[in-house]
Structure 1
Amino acid sequence: MNQSPALARRLGTFDASLIGLGSMIGAGVFAAFTPAAQAAGSGLLVGLVIAAFVAFCNATSSAQLAAAYPTSGGTYVYGRERLGPWPGFLAGWGFVIGKTASAAAMAMTFAAYAAPQGWERPVAIAAVVLLTAVNYHGVTRTAGLTRILVIAVLAALVVSLAAVWGGSGPDFGNVLGEGLLAGGWYGVLQSGGLLFFAFAGYARIATMGEEVRDPRRTIPRAITIALGITVVLYAVIAVTLLAALGPGGVAGNPTPLAAAVGNGSLGWAAPVVRVGAAVASLGALLALVAGLGRTSLAMAREHDLPHALAAVHPKYKVPHRAEVSIGVVICLIIAVADLRGAIGFSSFGVLLYYLVANIAAFTQPAEDRRYPKALQLAGAVACVVLVATLPPLSVGLGVAMFAVGIAYRWVRLRTRS
């Protein structure tokens, strides 16, 4: 691997776990249940279990790989080390392109909740500029702001749930609706794919492996802690929404948690949900910019992106050129695109990213193995199955995206040779 300045190891288990939580407990917790209910009704509970299991398989693979390869880049590095340059490139390309679109969507989600009508795009761009500047000034600043955002989001969710349960009270008879399988297995699997998108932030911990103290111990613990807390929280919210609104009510409302609070006798708490959604979007955007910068750094070190992006700031010890470049691209996307349909497009890249991670972990030798191979095999198969449930347009855009990436790398290799 090419030599370049190393990043500083400044993150412990607590801060690494918070970065994972900030990535997972983002805007998805306020919006992901609506499309899941549209696909499966009450079956979204089964979809949530499937998504959590797939996330666990992928998380254990990521943790096992990150302990063996504690450097920036996540699955891009793991794929190169275990499977070869091309699988690594495909994982990195999927992460960078898909998550850049996700970052733009998070910024626009924040603006939808926080900006006056007509000012959504300027406010979204301002949020990207601000959080890119925070990341630029060092990973401890990123972790510090993430800590504040995660605490604020959790407080908003606790107030929201307390308002629902402390008001007129949900009806548990609504939870099952017409049955868990009323939408069919395809609908259940599609809900699992949509809800998996909301879990995917634990990879952010692995992509920052070069900045974690004692990575062989810290990274697996941080991933497990962050994922465990998120699964419990999502399960509580899912049951609460179904009990308060019923499957049809969840499916028919783009802001179901706000609707559940507003329908109760403690409707005064509804603005808290809007604040929580805005703050959650900022937390996810902050972590996305950080993770994108580190993966771009790793790809630039191998010349799979322009090598100038491999620079590390001499004072702040961050990949400053990569982060600024990512920030500029996100702002351009916000300026010209409507990204409400970006989840499916991004999911295609994310699932391929984890497919490579599971296959790479499956090939690790016994001395690096922390989890049974069956988990990695199950994770790889599940990634393929969930891709098959995505809408056809998302699959088509995903295939086109990877065709562009393959052509780019092929031309670069031909030019260098």
Structure 2
Amino acid sequence: MVRILFVWACLFPALAIAQEWEFGVAEKLPDNVNSECDDVMPILSNDGKTLYFTRSFCDFNRGGKFTGSDIWMSMLDPSTKLWSKAVNAENLNDRANSIAVGVGEQGDVLYYMKTSSSKRPDGVLSISRQGGAWSRSRLMPVPGLEPDEYLGMYVTPDQMVMIISMNGPDSRGREDLYISVKNDRGEWTKPKNLGSTVNTTGFEMSPFLSANKRRLYFTSSGHSGQGNGDVFYCDRLYDSWEIWSAPKNLGEQVNSKFLDAYFSIYGDTVAYFASNRFKQMDLFKVQVFEKKSQYDIDRRNYLTDEEIQRIAGMTLQPLLYFDGGTSELNDYQKQNLVRIKNGLAGHKDIKFNIIAMKPADKPLETYQARLLNILDFFKQAGIEGNRIIFSTEQSESTIQSKEMVRIRFYR
């Protein structure tokens, strides 16, 4: 009889599918950037030299204090590493609302949006800047922009993905997040709702995508948080824009009892956001650090996704999602496990660590049953029991119904 090693360990919260971050102390940007007006939506160019943001209720806006918001900008002094006094980006602004929503990969293209109370926007504007001079703006049409009241968005630097916040016809709450991508003809698709994992009956707003387009940051009043609106993140799964991990709160170093929004992160070292924790909306900066996980001290030689793909000759999906309280495998999960078996059954040196993520306030029995069901499936499929170990890791309690089991491969 084959001896099977069970490791029932309660480990620290660890990586689900992407890197975890810790944050330093949030610092309000100096008065040469912030003002006595509301300053929001900080967007940094990829070279880190230009900070664009939106200023509202300001006497120095092109249309005055009450007619609209303007795009402002500040430049980084390379010698002092300080931001210059913010200036109005005059050629981009008029009596309507002008909002910066993204910067091109080379830093010379700005994506921005104009809105007014009398006309719905037809899309996003793109404008180039060379030698301090702005070119003529170009419209990028987006079909199906039908906001009833609220509208915001983020355009990725490569101009291939757009995340939109609006209260559209099929919104669940006051403001939902939608996805639009550029198709093979170079046209933007009609925005599609991101679904109930992300969107709630509250508001979801101020979206931002990580550089690899895997992680979505946004502000929500509908997920459990500390204030009027907290910054959350979730990761997209299965290379899909429709399946997302459960949103996770960024924590008290970023979030407060007030509204915290417009979070954006750069180079995995620094992030910017806006908050009204000091009455008006101000811009803040926070340092970002890699969070150490239990895997950092695990002496097993875990293989990367790329290494496993090369060994198996195919892309494997080592994540299984269960409804809360269930342990039986469904057809989709079995298909994933069959694919893993087909790719790795002949590689006897590859071993499996099956990890069930368990909230601290839930009983262990359901998570043990999930692991045993996965073990039984692999054994029946021909994977030797001595190639498999188990562990559980503590995850945060969540109002979402999906719970995860991850399979990690090692030698």
Q: Which of the five TM-score ranges fits, normalised by the shorter chain?
A: under 0.3
Structure-1-length-normalised TM-score? 0.21
Structure-2-length-normalised TM-score? 0.21
The structure with more strand, counted as a fraction of residues: 2
The structure with more helix, counted as a fraction of residues: 1
